């Protein structure tokens, strides 16, 4: 038998960071969205997750949402299969009940003086249209700021809420949005746009990059015109005076477009909540706010166009980041050759702010 | 990068047994059902399994069933894909033949004096409507009692044969049936029944618990009335005079309901044969015998109701034990907090009577 | 808890070779087919693979096919998702371009003087109707002979091109075709044929065995008559004067049938290109050439019969070799008891000519 031939692609890249960014966990000491408010009915439960920890959300008929580990202390089956009983959730199997603190308040066949240990409770907040939990050290929840959704509450904006399950590490999402050179991929949807970096800013816990764009080919799409149509002709959208600011304010990301220091015409807030223990999947929660034009109702009429347009863009993005994750799974390490300084800085930020994950079982 | 936050749910429970019951194998030195008699036609073969060992059942046109390792000694393909040839089974690939002892009796292209080793044969019995094999030490087969099916052969009873593939360790099945506090889960089907333990009995190789029930809410279901309708009013079924006896007589389980020492009105025999090597799945074989009421044919008319009723109950049970297995898979160990002494005893019995499994590949 | 009972089937076979043939990789220093020519359009790309290495084939509008590692050097996403741009392929994500040598020739947002490393290029040839790559040491490509397809180009033959994805190690394919005792499996399709070994020849890099056959039962199938119908009666096909020669000329395999030294009536060339890294799957490329009878067009009329006949045969073969692989996966090693000297020789050849694979993750 002969000696194996080492595949050329396994040669290490001398530029690789010493840690593999795709094995860095999202730091749990932040508020993470786990559901949209409308998903959780009064008197209902909802199964969600953060990084492999199953979390049940419970909305009593009277009283605020609470969040518990989604496993009965008894036999570990999901409490989300149970029923809401007053201010408690009761496991479907043997009827054990837990209150908002996770304390076991009733076992139907056991004296109240002999009740067993309960389950973990998570700090929870409901802000705007999102339910957020704090999966880290509960003592830090109150001193950790919630994300702000200024445009969502400003009547000058109309907001689209969107989200999806994406089979990739959250870091691929951050890199995708921040590297506007990937407009190349959307050129069928958006025409050819040439981005120019105006500057970047790295601070503690955040990185920001500003771009201008010039259209080098193709036509402005109708979806984009919904956003920009009021101010300029159809062939002038994203003109050089427009500035796009993409910012990772760990763990969130925002993208704003504005002109000459005026209020943003578009304001996107987005978060990628890890789902499984190895954080190779995320659930994306996005709020896309568009400034209403002066003529009322125009934006409402054109809204379906914007929805369809953004869906096509998001689909292209999801497909490519899932291919990135698949390549990482197959290669077993991160062999990316990054040449764009902004993305190198972003990777440093995500590595510094995250936590080390346990080594994967594979 | 920051230190990881240890998830709260991974703190060990001081009450945990020193072995993980879900990694204890069913002891092979017992008779286990692997198929219903009607599944195996004359002149046919049937692929079955015990704990990851593939077993082929063969029923020659003349002669009793035999059972072999379901792999040809030559190239390891399933003999169950082959054909019955007289009193032998012949592999479909190159035609090697094996008799009931597992001896290789013919290789079409080899002299009779040069025949290779054969395959393992299993002791096999056909009792009532089941085919049982003895997967352990064959020398013990004759001295190991077969399970009895008294009610099956008693014309005073009508018997339903049922079975399904369940994705969980057999121990979850034993615990499910023995812990009648899980009536809580069936309250939509059966109304609210409050169980009371009358006593338990632990002997070598067995454990038995007796319950009485009182109805605290809901209506008696029609399916239950098929069993009890003759003797009392619809709102009095499972009255306090009725005694339910649940017994694990390793490795089998029975459940009987009777009143004042009279013959049982219901008599269930059940066995959970492990299917895969890690025993995280089982095939359930159950015989549910119901005493015929004095008016003949009533039970036959009402039988479809009983079938539908028991199917709904079994589905709820299967769903929950599969969730238990999924929780164990995800947690990697058994974190159950058992408070019911009967189940603690049962777990001790199952651990003592079982065998240690090889450590899982995961 | 009791001691485990070791399953009898895990006793080692003293006859086992010291290496497990199913963990021997196909040697990469040969030309392997990875696609049919018709699969790759002008101006298109095609994703293929060799032993877990993803390979993109690119056919520029003007110029020959080239083959690269199917991962962009930047973010490792498949180049096969990209577009052909002149004589280069451009990644769909950020637009990096690579030429036929794998050199990166353009990053849209980077100066030409700062271009990063490119990707691996594979020697590639297009012969007959196949695209072949050389996955091993490129320096050996030119001195390594391409397979010949004499019958394909000879107008005296009509050729069927067929192929499929098969979930097994390539060695099971070689053994299947070379061991004609497996005619037993096809007896429903072909009747009972008794093979007789006329001789075998083992040389460096090859092994050849010659068979004659006698029909011992059943009728000649129509599909076979397409091949032999011209020369003899329906009940005389594959008569004893016919010689079937099966040859593994590493890594290819051929099967020829001829009579008395005349030109072959049937000539099969086949190759099994490993697909995944552990080589537990292969893509089969076969060319089945049949000598045209003297009456023209008869073969064309009867061709659909031959296609249906061979499809049935191939399906039986694919099913059984996939069962062999499944048995190996389940047993974790090769427990085959081979008694046929020809196959023992073949196994030696395949082990000697192959490469050691990395140990599997499982």
pLDDT beyond 50 at C46 = yes
Domain for residue C6, yes or no? no
The CATH number of residue C245's host domain is: 3.90.380.10
- C25 neighbors C356 (Cβ within 8 angstroms): yes
Compare all CA atoms of chain A with the CA of C52 and give the residue at the minimum distance: A330
How distant is the Cα of A159 from the closest Cα of chain B, in angstroms?
A: 35
What pLDDT band is residue B256 in, cutting at 50, 70 and 90?
A: very high
Contacts of A93 in chain B (CB under 8 A): 182, 184-185, 320
Residue B262 lies in a domain: yes
Choose the weakest-confidence range: A82-91, B40-49, C185-194: C185-194
A108 reaches B (C-beta below 8 A): yes
Radius of gyration of the CA atoms of chain B, in A: 23
Rounded alpha-carbon distances, angstroms, from residue A50 to A274, A279, A302: 6, 9, 36
Residue C316 covered by a domain: yes
User: Is the model more confident about B327 or about C261?
Assistant: B327
pLDDT for position B234? 42
Whether residues C102 and C193 fall in one domain: no
Based on the fold, state whether residues C335 and C265 are members of the same structural domain.
yes
Report the C-alpha gap between B299 and B291 in whole angstroms: 9
A303 vs B18: which has the higher pLDDT: A303
Contact A77 B324 (CB under 8 A): yes
- C78 part of contact set with chain A, CB < 8 Å: yes
> C27 to chain A: which residues are within 8 Å by CB?
2
- Cα B99 to Cα A362: distance, rounded to the nearest angstrom: 43
**Is B237's pLDDT higher than 80?**
no
pLDDT for the residue B188: 87
Same domain, B271 and B189: yes
Which of C241 and B77 is assigned the larger pLDDT? B77
With helix as H, strand as E and coil as C, how does C129-150 read? CEEEECCCCHHHCCCCCCCCCH
Considering only the beta carbons, identify the residue of C1, C182, C335 that sits closest to B355: C1
Domain span at residue C121 reads 24-140
A318 and A232 part of one domain = yes
A278 and chain B in contact, CB less than 8 A: no
Q: Which of these three, A84, A112, A140, is where a domain ends?
A: A140
What whole-number distance in Å separates Cα of residue A292 and Cα of residue A227?
8
Residue A4: its chain C contacts at CB < 8 A? 25, 355-358
Q: Where are the beta strands (DSSP E) in A264-357?
A: 266-274, 282-291, 355-356
Residue B96 sits in the same domain as residue B156: no
CB-based contact, A71 to chain B, within 8 Å: yes
pLDDT at C83: 97
Query: pLDDT higher for A125 or B261?
Result: A125
For residue C110, give how far its alpha carbon lies from the nearest alpha carbon of chain A (Å).
Answer: 8
Alpha-carbon gap: A233 to the closest alpha carbon of chain C (Å): 27
Tell me: pLDDT of C16 over 70.
Answer: no
Residue A140 with chain B: CB contacts under 8 Å: none
Same domain? For B89 and B200 the reply is no
Average pLDDT, chain B: 89
Pairing of strands C121-122, C124-127: unpaired
In a domain, A7, yes or no: no
- Beta carbons of B109 and C338 less than 8 Å apart: no
Contact A252, A147 (CB under 8 A): yes
CATH number of the domain to which A57 belongs: 2.102.10.10
Q: Is B123 at the interface with chain C, CB within 8 A?
A: no
Mean pLDDT for all residues in chain C? 89
pLDDT of residue C358: 75
Q: In this structure, is residue A294 part of a structural domain?
A: yes
Cβ distance C339 to B110 less than 8 Å, yes or no, reads yes
Q: What pLDDT is recorded for position B300?
A: 84
ipTM, 2 dp:
0.89
Interchain CB contact of A327 with C (< 8 Å): yes
pLDDT cut 90: percent of chain C above it:
72
Q: Is some CB atom of chain A closer than 8 A to the CB atom of B181?
A: yes
Burial C77-103 (b: 16+ CB within 10 A, else e): bbbbbbbbeebbbbbbbbbbbbbbebe
The segment with the largest mean pLDDT, out of A41-55, B204-218, B298-312, is A41-55
Across the range B159-163, mean pLDDT stands at 93
Query: Phi and psi (nearest 5°) for C199?
Result: 170, 160
- For residue A170, being part of any structural domain is answered with yes
Residues of B in contact with A25 (CB under 8 A): 4
Q: How many domains does chain A have?
A: 2
- Chain A residue numbers touching C76 (CB-CB < 8 A): 324, 327-328, 331, 335-336
Domain shared by C166 and C307, yes or no: yes
C156 and C130 assigned to the same domain = no
**Whether residues A125 and A160 fall in one domain:** no
Chain C within 8 Å of A167 (Cβ-Cβ)? no
Residues in chain A, pLDDT under 70: 1-18, 217-219, 222-240, 359-362
- Is the same domain home to C132 and C154? no
pLDDT surpassing 90 at residue C18: no
R_g of chain C computed on alpha carbons: 23
pLDDT for A190 equals 83
Q: What is the pLDDT of residues C221-276, one digit of tens each?
A: 766 666 665 444 444 445 567 899 999 999 999 999 998 888 999 999 999 999 99
Which residues in chain B (183-202) have CB-CB distances under 8 A to chain A?
184-185, 195
Determine contact: A103 vs chain B, CB below 8 A: no
Three-state SS sequence of chain C: CECCCCCHHHCCCCCCCCCCHHHEECCCCCCEEEEEHHHCCCCEEEEEEECCEEEEEEECCCCCCEEEECCCCCCCCCHHHCEEECCEEECCCCCCEECCCCCEEECCCCCHHHCCCCCCEECEEEECCEEEECCCCHHHCCCCCCCCCHHHHCCCEEEEEEEEEECCCHHHHHHHHHCHHHHHHHHHHHCEEEEEEEEEEEECCEEEEEEEEEEEECCCCHHHHHHHCCCCCCCCCCCCCEEEEEEEECCEEEEEEEECCCCCCEEEEEEEEECCCCCCCEEEEEEEEEECCCCCCHHHHHHHHHHHHHHHHHHHHHHHHHHHHHHHHHHCCCCCCCCCHHHHHHHHHHHHHCEECCCCCC
Residue B360 lies in a domain: no
Q: Are B128 and B234 in a shared domain?
A: no
Same-domain pairing of B159 and B295? yes
Chains in contact with B via at least 3 Cβ–Cβ pairs below 8 Å: A, C
pLDDT for the residue B238: 52
pLDDT at B362: 45
Identify the residue among A75, A133, A144 best suited for mutation to test binding to B, counting B beta carbons within 10 A and taking the highest. Answer: A75
C81, C105, C140 - which closes a domain: C140
Which two three-digit tokens encode residue B286?
Answer: 């159950």
The predicted structure's pLDDT at residue C2: 63
Of B117, B351, B353, which has the smallest distance from its Cβ to C337's Cβ?
Answer: B117
> Is the bond into A251 cis (omega within 30 degrees of 0)?
yes
Give the residue from B140, B175, B207 where a domain finishes: B140
Determine, yes or no, domain membership for B243: yes
Give per-residue pLDDT as tens, B266-298.
999 999 999 999 999 999 999 999 999 888 778
| Cβ contact B77–C2 (<8 Å) | no
């Amino acid at each position: 038998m002969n000696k194996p031939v080492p595949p050329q692609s396994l040669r290490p890249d001398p530029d690789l960071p010493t840690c593999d960014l795709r094995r860095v966990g999202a730091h749990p000491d932040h508020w993470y969205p786990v559901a949209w408010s409308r998903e959780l009915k009064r008197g209902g439960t909802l199964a969600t997750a953060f990084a492999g920890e199953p979390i049940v959300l419970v909305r009593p008929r009277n009283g605020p949402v609470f969040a518990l580990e989604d496993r009965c202390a008894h036999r570990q089956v999901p409490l989300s299969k149970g029923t809401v009983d007053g201010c408690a959730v009761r496991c479907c199997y043997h009827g054990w009940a837990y209150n908002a603190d996770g304390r076991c308040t009733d076992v139907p066949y056991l004296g109240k003086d002999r009740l067993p240990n309960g389950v973990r409770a998570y700090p929870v907040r409901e802000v705007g249209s999102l339910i957020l939990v704090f999966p880290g050290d509960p003592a830090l929840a109150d001193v950790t700021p919630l994300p702000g959704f200024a445009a969502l509450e400003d009547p000058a904006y109309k907001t689209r809420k969107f989200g999806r399950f994406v089979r990739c590490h959250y870091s691929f999402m951050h890199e995708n949005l921040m590297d506007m050179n990937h407009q190349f991929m959307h050129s069928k949807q958006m025409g050819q746009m040439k981005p120019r970096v105006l500057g970047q800013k790295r601070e503690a816990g955040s990185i920001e990059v500003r771009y201008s764009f010039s259209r080098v080919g193709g036509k402005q799409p109708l979806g984009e015109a919904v956003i920009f149509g009021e101010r300029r002709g159809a062939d002038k959208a994203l003109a050089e005076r427009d500035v796009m600011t993409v910012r990772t304010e760990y763990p969130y990301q925002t993208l704003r477009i504005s002109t000459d220091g005026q209020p943003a015409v578009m304001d996107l807030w987005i978060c990628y909540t890890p789902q499984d223990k190895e954080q190779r999947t995320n659930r994306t929660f996005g709020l896309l706010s568009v400034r209403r034009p002066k003529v009322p109702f125009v934006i409402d009429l054109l809204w379906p166009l914007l929805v369809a347009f953004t869906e096509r863009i998001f689909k292209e993005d999801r497909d490519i980041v899932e291919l990135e994750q698949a390549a990482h799974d197959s290669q077993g390490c991160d062999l990316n050759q990054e040449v764009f300084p902004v993305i190198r800085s972003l990777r440093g930020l995500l590595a510094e702010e995250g936590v080390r994950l346990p080594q994967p079982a594979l």
